[in-house]
Amino acid sequence: MMLRRSSRFLLVVLFATVALIVLDLNADLFFAIERSSGQRRTDHGYGSDGDGNEMRQPLYIKKDVQLHAATFFFGAPMSNNYLENCSVKGHCKLVENRSAADAIIYHAPDFVSLGQLNANQIAVLWSLESPTNHFFHHNYARRINWTMTYRRDSDIWFPYGVITKRHQPVHVDYEAIWASKKHMAICLMSNCRHNNGRIQLINAIQAAGITVDMFGACGYRKTPNDCDGVKKQGDRCVAQLFRPYKFAISFENSLCKDYVTEKFFEVLQNRFTVPIVMRRKTCEEIGAPPNSFIAVDDYKNVSDLVNDLHRIAQSKAAYMEYHRWRETFEVNSDYFAIENTGFCELCKKIMRQDFESKHYDDVASWQTVGVCDQPQDGFVNKFLGYARNKFFTRIPQHLINIT
Q: What is the DSSP string of 325-348?
A: GGGTEEEE--TTS-TTSHHHHHHH
Closest to 340 in 3D by CA, of 73, 135, 55: 55
Planar angle of CA 398, 199, 212, nearest 5 degrees: 55
How many other CB atoms sit within 10 Å of the CB of residue 90? 12
Residue 240: per-residue pLDDT: 86
**Distance between CA 305 and CA 185 in Å, rounded?**
13
Q: Which domains does the chain have, with CATH numbers?
A: 34-159+338-368 (no CATH), 165-333+376-399 (3.40.50.11660)
Element (H, E) at 277: strand 274-277
Residue 379: per-residue pLDDT: 83
**Distance between CA 294 and CA 247 in Å, rounded?**
9
**Starting at the edge strand that comes first in sequence, how are the strands of the sheet with 183-188 ordered?**
212-215, 183-188, 245-249, 274-277, 294-295
For the chain, the maximum distance between any two Cα atoms, rounded to a whole number of angstroms, is 104
Residue 71: per-residue pLDDT: 87
Closest to 367 in 3D by CA, of 64, 50, 151, 97: 151
Report whether 379 contacts 373 (CB < 8 A).
yes
Which DSSP symbol is given to 254?
Answer: S
pTM: 0.79
Residue 67: per-residue pLDDT: 96
List own/partner pairs for 351-354 with CB under 8 A and 24 or more apart. Answer: 351/29, 351/60, 351/61, 351/62, 351/63, 351/65, 351/88, 351/91, 351/92, 352/57, 352/58, 352/59, 352/60, 352/61, 352/62, 353/61, 353/62, 354/58
**Distance between CA 213 and CA 143 in Å, rounded?**
47
C-alpha gyration radius of the chain: 25
Report whether 328 contacts 292 (CB < 8 A).
no
Residue 38: per-residue pLDDT: 43
Q: By three-state DSSP, how is residue 98 classified? A: helix
**Distance between CA 330 and CA 338 in Å, rounded?**
13
How remote is the C-alpha of 317 from its chain's centroid? 30
Element (H, E) at 14: helix 2-23
Residue 394: per-residue pLDDT: 41
3-state secondary structure 371-397: CECCHHHCHHHHHHCCCCCCCCCCCCH
Q: Which amino acid is at 19?
A: A
Residue 154: per-residue pLDDT: 96
**Distance between CA 272 and CA 253 in Å, rounded?**
22
**Distance between CA 144 and CA 146 in Å, rounded?**
6
Report whether 295 contacts 255 (CB < 8 A).
no
pLDDT, tens digit, 9 for 90 and up, residues 299-349: 999 999 999 999 999 999 999 999 999 999 999 998 888 889 999 999 999
Planar angle of CA 274, 276, 278, nearest 5 degrees: 155
Tens-digit pLDDT profile for the chain (403 aa)?
Answer: 544 555 555 554 455 444 444 434 333 333 333 333 344 343 333 333 334 444 344 456 778 999 999 988 888 888 899 899 899 999 999 999 999 999 999 988 888 788 888 888 999 999 999 988 876 666 666 789 999 999 999 999 999 999 999 999 999 999 999 999 999 999 988 777 666 788 889 999 999 999 999 987 777 676 666 665 555 555 678 888 899 999 999 999 889 999 999 989 999 998 999 999 999 999 999 999 989 999 999 999 999 999 999 999 999 999 999 999 999 999 999 888 888 999 999 999 999 886 777 888 888 889 888 888 876 567 888 888 764 444 443 433 433 333 2
Strand partners, 148: 126, 156
